[in-house]
Amino acid sequence: MAVRLTDVANEAGVSLATASRVLNGSARKPAVEISDKVRAAAEKLGYFPNAQAQALARSTTKLIGLVVRDIADPYFSTIARGVQRSLGDSGVQLLLASTEYDPEREIEAVQAFMSQRTDAIILSGSRSLGENGQLLKLIENYQENGGQVMIIGQPMTDMGGIQIDNEATAEHLAAELISAGHRRFVVLAGEANLLTSRDRSNGFLEKLKRSGLDAEEVISGPFSREGAYVAMSDYLKRQKSAGGVHRVCVFCVSDVMALGAIRAIRENRLRIPEDIAVVGFDDIPTLIDITPTVSTARLPLEEIGKWAGEMALNHGELRKIVVSGVPVLRESTQLADGQ
Amino acid sequence: MAVRLTDVANEAGVSLATASRVLNGSARKPAVEISDKVRAAAEKLGYFPNAQAQALARSTTKLIGLVVRDIADPYFSTIARGVQRSLGDSGVQLLLASTEYDPEREIEAVQAFMSQRTDAIILSGSRSLGENGQLLKLIENYQENGGQVMIIGQPMTDMGGIQIDNEATAEHLAAELISAGHRRFVVLAGEANLLTSRDRSNGFLEKLKRSGLDAEEVISGPFSREGAYVAMSDYLKRQKSAGGVHRVCVFCVSDVMALGAIRAIRENRLRIPEDIAVVGFDDIPTLIDITPTVSTARLPLEEIGKWAGEMALNHGELRKIVVSGVPVLRESTQLADGQ
DNA sequence: CTGTTAGCGCATTCAC
DNA sequence: GTGAATGCGCTAACAG
């Protein structure tokens, strides 16, 4: 249907091989005169190389796959932007898959990318890695066939990627809060079987313990805005019926959860930080518009995406980058008497 | 390198064709016994069909392309989520391109998708359509070769898509504000050469005029958070040096711009809505966490993405859907004396 | 129902 | 420097 290279070659009165060399680069350089003729023909006919045919012939697709949990979540969309930007004009195209928090779909996404013969797969926010042997086996298969895998967030031996030191960062965050004067903490810990979730709450709790403190409560629940909203609402209700809410600092293992918690707090007509302090984790761009400004641990999300993308491009050196977050205390954890 | 269908066929002791029929569906159904053997072989060898080879042989790629301006912008990421969801388990994969607000890159994106022989291209937030003949020519070429194009936002004859009735929606929004008691308006109009931008401000102004009102000021600038921030800051500075800020309602042609404006207002230590009222447009999900809650015109963004995706899947009937936004007045435009 | 064969569009050896 | 031929992995006629 579409214009083929053959058509261009005919139009220009040269061979297929020559046309190929002119249009799609090669070591051998055809004469300028011929090159011009070919290019003119391509232009005239409206030729666009068939990427699938090229991929088949070259056995490399210039395709990379990114799997996220939810592209509308600022955490993932910021990473996605970073990946996009890293691609620049490398000519590499990005295939996007959303798992919608479903391990099943995560596997399907990887399978689809394998079928597409993507040169690399960037896995962010994996849910099943580590628990699910199936995904791991899939990935091994992929790697054996020359595919590169970059994991964002999870520390995995044997693969490159951006490892986020959630535990140390959470500890650091706890330390800052303590030295800012906070003593009573509640932790919205997310899901215990999610590594990210677990590392963050563990790191935080660990630091508390080593400082002679103890969380008043550690509440598990879905690793989502809604989950945090429910958990927080529930917590407040319990507090109220137990005599009243006392001042605590609520650590949420993600900013998105912090937003859910904040909403619950607001609906209970409590003030932040006067009645309850809130801290998140990630520093998603969205925070910039929240009042009061929200304390968090800043992760260079866009950079992380960019690094992952660069690693995907550099078909060679698999590196492993370890990123630590930086505590950023803002209004949401400001103590009344503090400056 | 990877396992080929031939390998599977050999392993199972059947012909290539049979293996193909078993693994990748066909009208002809091989015997159950043979099917099982083939599937077992595929499983054992870790076979994944080569999508490029399939595409070449079938001359259909099961690929669709989505081009956005910035995937980290909630407007686009919400649409992207809708598109993703519409794909479900159709087996269609999504190729994503970000133009970064650059018409040049928009063209490159479409060209890349054409090379990938995507079955459809969804164009959202196009910048150059209508001004730039080059993109239009490209698209015609694509359509002639059987490609489907869905435009989101821009009203284009000859293509399917989701048309957003920006003008009527803006009029409606203005009407609501007027009947809520607002009389003095300032418009942050974005860029005059961006259709979306222009339609929204025109519709709004039109309604004011027909109500015997007139905007105090119409300020142009980049169609972005930053642009609105600068525009608003500048406006406030001028007001202050002219004797003081008087109460107005600021209409921003997008929520993202409204957020920028709000920031500028806050930095000037003015209160919303007491000193200045603010309205946006789109109802991006982000608004849910903003205080005060922000008035806007609600567009079903995720639905829009979903519809576009569905149209891309239904390789047949090109429809054109017209969507109108619904004014939603919230705290940011509440008048002191109002209820 | 199963196997053989001929392309799909292009890159790339290999001859010239 | 240029052209002819082979194969990338798979599907879809066509035979059997």
Inter-CA distances, A61 with A55, A92, B53, B75, B165, Å:
5, 8, 11, 30, 40
HSE-up of residue A137 (Cα within 13 Å, Cβ side) = 9
Q: How far is CA B195 from the centre of its chain?
A: 14
A206-240: pLDDT as tens digits: 999 999 999 999 999 999 999 999 999 999 999 99
B174-186: pLDDT as tens digits: 999 999 999 999 9
- Say yes or no: Cβ of B20 under 7 A from any atom of strand D: yes
Residue A30: the pLDDT is 75
Residue A152 has pLDDT above 90, yes or no: yes
Residue B248: the pLDDT is 96
- Say yes or no: Cβ of A56 under 7 A from any atom of strand D: yes
- Say yes or no: Cβ of A31 under 7 A from any atom of strand D: yes
Residue A337: the pLDDT is 63
Is B192 in the A-facing interface, judged by CB distances under 8 Å?
no
B142-173: pLDDT as tens digits: 999 999 999 998 777 677 889 999 999 999 99
Residue B32: the pLDDT is 85
Mean pLDDT of chain A: 92
Which one of B24, B45, B48 makes the best mutation probe of the A interface by having the most chain A beta carbons within 10 Å?
Answer: B48
A244-264: pLDDT as tens digits: 888 999 999 999 999 999 999
Which residues from chain A sit within 8 angstroms of residue B108, using beta carbons?
A: 89
Q: How many residue contacts between A and B have a Cβ separation below 8 Å?
A: 139
- Say yes or no: Cβ of B1 under 7 A from any atom of strand D: yes
The whole-model pTM stands at: 0.95
Least Cα separation, residue B212 to chain A (angstroms): 35
Taking CB atoms and an 8 Å limit, are B52 and A50 in contact across chains?
Answer: no
Sheet of strand B185-190, all strands in order from the earlier edge strand to the far edge:
B217-220, B185-190, B248-252, B276-279
Which residues, 6+ apart, have CB-to-CB distance to A52 below 8 Å? B51, B52, B53, B55, B56, B61, B116, B117
B184-222: pLDDT as tens digits: 999 999 998 888 999 999 999 999 999 999 999 999 999
- Say yes or no: Cβ of B122 under 7 A from any atom of strand D: no
> What percent of chain A shows pLDDT beyond 90?
81
- Choose the closest CB to A116 out of B51, B70, B262: B51
Supply the DSSP string of A113-161, one letter for each residue. HHHTT-SEEEEES-SSTTT-HHHHHHHHHHHHTT-EEEEEES--TTSEE
Pick from A23, A305, A114: nearest CA to B98: A305
Supply A289's token pair.
């518009």
Which one of B68, B92, B115 makes the best mutation probe of the A interface by having the most chain A beta carbons within 10 Å?
Answer: B115
Taking CB atoms and an 8 Å limit, are B285 and A53 in contact across chains?
Answer: no
- Choose the closest CB to A146 out of B1, B96, B263: B1
Average pLDDT over residues A1-8: 89
Residue A316 has pLDDT above 90, yes or no: no
Q: Lowest mean pLDDT of A100-114, B11-25, B281-295, name the range.
A: B11-25
Q: How many CB atoms lie within 10 A of CB A242?
A: 9
- Say yes or no: Cβ of B288 under 7 A from any atom of strand D: no
Residue B339: the pLDDT is 37
Residue B316 has pLDDT above 90, yes or no: no
DSSP A247: P
Residue A41: the pLDDT is 92
Pick from A87, A125, A89, A96: nearest CA to A307: A87
Q: Which nucleotide has the least CA–C1' distance to B18?
A: C2
Average pLDDT over residues A262-285: 97
Inter-CA distances, A292 with A273, A278, A335, Å:
8, 10, 13
Burial tier of A111 (Cβ tally within 10 Å: 0-12, 13-18, 19+): middle
Residue B244: the pLDDT is 86
Going by pLDDT thresholds of 50, 70 and 90, the confidence category of residue B7 is: very high
- CB contacts under 8 A, B 289-308 vs A, are 289-291, 302
- CB contacts under 8 A, B 50-79 vs A, are 50-53, 55-56, 59, 61, 70-72, 74, 77-78
Average pLDDT over residues B292-308: 97
Least Cα separation, residue B218 to chain A (angstroms): 24
Residue A339 has pLDDT above 50, yes or no: no
Degrees, nearest 5: CA angle B221-B280-B156: 70
- What domains can be seen in chain B, in order of their start residue? 5-49 (1.10.260.40), 61-163+303-323 (3.40.50.2300), 166-298+326-333 (3.40.50.2300)
Taking CB atoms and an 8 Å limit, are A50 and B117 in contact across chains?
Answer: yes
Report d(CA B8, CA B19) in Å as an integer.
7
B265-279: pLDDT as tens digits: 999 999 999 999 999
Sheet of strand A217-220, all strands in order from the earlier edge strand to the far edge:
A217-220, A185-190, A248-252, A276-279
- Single-letter amino acid, residue B88: G
DSSP A215: -
Pick from B121, B84, B311: nearest CA to A109: B84
Residue B338: the pLDDT is 44
Backbone φ, ψ for residue A229 (5° rounding): -60, -50
Inter-CA distances, B183 with A242, B180, B276, B328, Å:
49, 9, 12, 18
Residue A107: the pLDDT is 94
Q: b/e per residue, B288-305, with b = 16+ CB within 10 A?
A: ebbebbbbbbbbbbbbbb
Residue B122: the pLDDT is 96
**Torsion over CA: A96, A99, A105, A106 (sign):** positive
Residue A131 has pLDDT above 70, yes or no: no
Q: Which residues is A67 bridged to in the sheet? A: A97, A123
Q: Which nucleotide has the least CA–C1' distance to B48?
A: D9
Q: Which nucleotide has the least CA–C1' distance to A27?
A: C12
Average pLDDT over residues B60-75: 96
Residue A89 CA, nucleotide C10 C1', distance (Å): 22
> Nucleotide D7: nearest residue by CA–C1'?
A57
Inter-CA distances, A40 with A25, B132, B162, B180, B266, Å:
16, 22, 37, 62, 57
Residue B318 has pLDDT above 70, yes or no: no
Residue A29 has pLDDT above 80, yes or no: no
Residue A333 has pLDDT above 80, yes or no: yes
Residue A276: the pLDDT is 97
Report d(CA A78, CA B77) in Å as an integer.
10
Which residues from chain B sit within 8 angstroms of residue A74, using beta carbons?
A: 72, 74, 77, 286
Q: Which residues is A327 bridged to in the sheet? A: A297
Average pLDDT over residues A152-168: 84
Taking CB atoms and an 8 Å limit, are B114 and A84 in contact across chains?
Answer: no
* CB contact at 8 A, B299 and B261: no
Taking CB atoms and an 8 Å limit, are B95 and A95 in contact across chains?
Answer: yes
Taking CB atoms and an 8 Å limit, are A84 and B61 in contact across chains?
Answer: no
* CB contact at 8 A, B193 and B161: no
Burial tier of A8 (Cβ tally within 10 Å: 0-12, 13-18, 19+): buried
> N- to C-terminal Cα distance for chain B?
71
Higher-pLDDT residue of B26 and B285 is B285
Residue A49 has pLDDT above 70, yes or no: yes
Q: In chain D, which nucleotides are within 7 Å of a protein Cβ? A: 1-5, 7-13
Which residues from chain B sit within 8 angstroms of residue A85, using beta carbons?
A: 98, 100
Taking CB atoms and an 8 Å limit, are A1 and B286 in contact across chains?
Answer: no
Least Cα separation, residue A71 to chain B (angstroms): 6
Higher-pLDDT residue of B74 and A26 is B74
B99-133: pLDDT as tens digits: 998 889 999 999 999 999 999 999 998 776 666 78
Is A243 in the B-facing interface, judged by CB distances under 8 Å?
no
> What percent of chain A shows pLDDT beyond 70?
94
Is B24 in the A-facing interface, judged by CB distances under 8 Å?
no
